[in-house]
Amino acid sequence: MRLVWKQLALLTLLSSMLAVFAGAVQATTEPSIVVDGKKLELKGGARVETVDGHVMIPIRMVTENLGFQVGWDAQNRGVSIAVGSRTINLAVGSKSALVDGVEKSLLVAPVLKNGVTGVPLRFVSEQMGMIVDWDDATKTVSVNRPAPTASDSGTVTVDDISLDERQLKITVSGKVEPKVFTMSGPERIVIDLPGTSLSPALEDRSSQKGVVSIANSSEIAGVRYALFSDSPSTVRVVMDLNSPSPYAVTRGSADEVLVELTGEPASTPGTDIPGSAAPGSGPQLPPVTQPEPPPIASGKKLIVIDPGHGGKDPGTIGITNKLEKVFNLNVALKIQKLLDHDPNMEVVFTRTDDRFIKLGDRAPVANKINADAFISIHANSVENAPSANGTESYYYEVASKSFTQIIHKHLLEATGFRDRGVKQAGWKVLRDANMVSVLLEAGFISNAAEEAKLFTDDMQQRIAQGVVNGLKEYFGFA
C-alpha cells in the first residue's frame, strides 16, 4: 500500500513538472511577426496572442508597424483601420466587419483584454493587399507588401526639368502622354505625367522643395515639381504665373515635352482647343482644360483652415472632459488673426463657430476655390493609455510630404512635446483635397499634462504661430 502511495505521489509530481514545462514552452513560443523581412520588436509590454489558432495583434502595433491609421470608438467598442482609400471597420466581439462599406465575415472576432484591443492580423493585412504566411515550426507570421508592378513604380523617368525664357522643357526617358490644365487664384499651368517617376538625380534635387531656377521672368513666378501620386505613379510639374497666359504643348523630340507661353492667343487650323496653338514644329498635345472659378485673392496664396469636428460632433473628449472641437476652433481663430492682414496669404475656414460640418464637405471648400494649401487641426487621444503623448502630422499624397514636414517642424517647436513624426494615412479630408494638405495632431488630451497645456491661451497662440511660420517657410515668405 505504501508503494502505491509513493507511485501516486511520483505521478503527481511528474504531472506538475510537465505542466510547468508546458507553460514555459508556451511562453517561449509566443508568435513572432515579421513585416517585409524585419522582425517586430514589441514595446511597452505589448503581446501577440492567439485566439482559436488565429494571431491577434494589438491595434497600437497596427499603427506603429504596418503604417495604417487606426481610430477607436469607445462608446461602441469599434475599431477603424485605414490606409490610402481603403477602410476597415471592426467591433469587439463581432465576427462581422465592413471593408469599404461591404460586409465581410471574420473567423475570429476582435478582443478587448486588459484594456488592449486585439484584431486578427491575417484578416486586416490581407484586406489591405498584403501577403500573409504562417510558419508553424517557428511560430512566425510573415507579412509582406506586394512588390510594385512596372506601372505602379513608373515605367518612364523624368530626367530633367528646365526653363528657357518662356519655354518649359521636361526631359523623359520614354513615351508620355501629358495631361495639362490651368488653375487660378493664383494662376498656374499644371502638367501631370502619368506612368512616370522622378529619376534619382531629379529626386535629389526635389529634396530642395522641387524648385526650378528662374532668372528675371516677368511672366513666370516659379516652377515646381514633385511625385504627385504613387498609385499610379505620376510626376506633377507646376508653372506659377503672374497673370493668365495662353500656352502650347509640343514635343521637341521623342524624349522632350515642351510647354511654352504663346503671348497672343492663337489657334491651329482644324482645332479649337484653348492653349493648343503650336509655336514651332512637333506634333500637338492638346491640354485638358478644367473650368476656372474666379480668383479670390489675386497674387495671394489661398489657405483653407479646417478646425476638426464641431456642433454635435465633439471630437475626442479629454481626461478632464475638455472637448477637442473647442481646442481646434480656438487655434483656427488665432491663425485667422495672425493672417488677417498678411500681404501674401488669405485664409478661408470650413467653420468659424461651433457648427457641425459633414466630413465629406470639408475638403471641397478648398477644392472649389482652388486653394493652395489645406490644413486640418486636431487633438489626439488613445483609449486606456493615459501616458500616450506627443505631436504628429499626417499627409496622404506624396506631393504633400514636404509641406507636411515643414508644418510639422514648426508645430513641434510650438508644443515642445515628444516628436511622433510625420506619417502617411488615408484620412478622408486628405484624400479629398486637391492641393497640398496636412492633418495636425497637436497633442493628446487623453494625457493629463498635455491636455492642461493644450487648453491654455499661450499654447494655442504658439501653435497658431507655428502653423503660420510653417506656411511662410513653405511658400517662401519667411
Verify that 307 and 440 share a domain, yes or no: yes
CATH of the domain at 169: 2.60.40.3500
- E-strand stretches of 40-166: 49-51, 54-58, 69-73, 78-83, 86-91, 96-99, 102-105, 111-113, 116-120, 131-135, 140-144, 156-164
Per the structure, the complete domain to which residue 381 belongs is given by 301-475
What pLDDT does residue 372 have? 93
- Amino acid at site 79: V
CATH of the domain at 405: 3.40.630.40
Of 58-62, 256-260, 336-340, 382-386, the least confident: 58-62
What pLDDT does residue 393 have? 94
Residue 452 has pLDDT above 90, yes or no: yes
In a domain, 281, yes or no: no
- Compute the average pLDDT of residues 347-357: 93
What pLDDT does residue 330 have? 96
CB contact burial 315-336 (16+ within 10 A = b; e otherwise): bbebbeebbbbbbbbbbbbbbe
Verify that 355 and 463 share a domain, yes or no: yes
- Compute the average pLDDT of residues 455-459: 96
Alpha-carbon distance 261 to 287, whole Å?
13
Of 1-15, 53-67, 113-127, 429-443, the least confident: 1-15
- Compute the average pLDDT of residues 306-326: 91
Q: Give the total number of structural domains in the chain.
A: 3
What pLDDT does residue 65 have? 67
Verify that 163 and 123 share a domain, yes or no: no
Residue 277 has pLDDT above 60, yes or no: no
Verify that 83 and 173 share a domain, yes or no: no
Domain boundary among the residues 120, 144, 168 is at: 144
What pLDDT does residue 185 have? 59
Percent of the chain with pLDDT over 90: 28
Verify that 135 and 169 share a domain, yes or no: no
- Compute the average pLDDT of residues 146-151: 47
What pLDDT does residue 287 have? 40
pLDDT higher at 305 or 183:
305
- Compute the average pLDDT of residues 36-59: 76
Residue 158 has pLDDT above 60, yes or no: yes
Verify that 252 and 315 share a domain, yes or no: no
What pLDDT does residue 285 have? 40
pLDDT higher at 229 or 121:
121
What pLDDT does residue 62 have? 65
pLDDT higher at 118 or 330:
330
In a domain, 71, yes or no: yes
* Long-range CB contact pairs, 462-465, < 8 A, 24+: 462/414, 462/415, 463/331, 463/334, 463/411, 463/414, 463/415, 464/331, 464/332, 464/334, 464/335, 464/337, 464/338, 465/338, 465/414
Verify that 414 and 338 share a domain, yes or no: yes
In a domain, 379, yes or no: yes
CATH of the domain at 75: 3.30.457.10
Asked if 274 and 302 count as a contact pair (C-beta separation under 8 A), the reply is no
In a domain, 67, yes or no: yes
DSSP structure class, residue 133: E
Of 22-26, 111-115, 128-132, the least confident: 22-26
Alpha-carbon distance 107 to 365, whole Å?
42
Residue 225 has pLDDT above 70, yes or no: yes
In a domain, 307, yes or no: yes
Look-up: residue for cell 525664357?
165
Domain boundary among the residues 83, 111, 144 is at: 144
In a domain, 3, yes or no: no
Alpha-carbon distance 91 to 387, whole Å?
24
What pLDDT does residue 142 have? 81
Residue 292 has pLDDT above 70, yes or no: no
Residue 10 has pLDDT above 70, yes or no: no
Q: Is 24 helix (H, G, I), strand (E, B) or coil?
A: helix
Q: pTM of the predicted model, to two decimals?
A: 0.45
- Compute the average pLDDT of residues 173-193: 83
Task: Please identify every residue annotated as catalytic.
Answer: 441
Verify that 395 and 439 share a domain, yes or no: yes
Cβ atoms within 10 Å of 457's Cβ, excluding its own: 9
Of 58-72, 89-103, 464-478, the least confident: 58-72
Verify that 306 and 409 share a domain, yes or no: yes
Verify that 120 and 188 share a domain, yes or no: no
What pLDDT does residue 432 have? 87
Verify that 231 and 190 share a domain, yes or no: yes
Verify that 241 and 327 share a domain, yes or no: no
Asked if 323 and 315 count as a contact pair (C-beta separation under 8 A), the reply is yes
Domain boundary among the residues 243, 261, 279 is at: 261
In a domain, 76, yes or no: yes
In a domain, 149, yes or no: no
Most confident residue range from 166-170, 178-182, 332-336: 332-336
Look-up: residue for cell 515579421?
34
Q: Model confidence over 414-451: pLDDT tens digits? A: 999 999 999 888 788 998 899 999 999 999 999 999 99
- Compute the average pLDDT of residues 255-279: 53
> Chain-wide mean pLDDT for the chain?
78
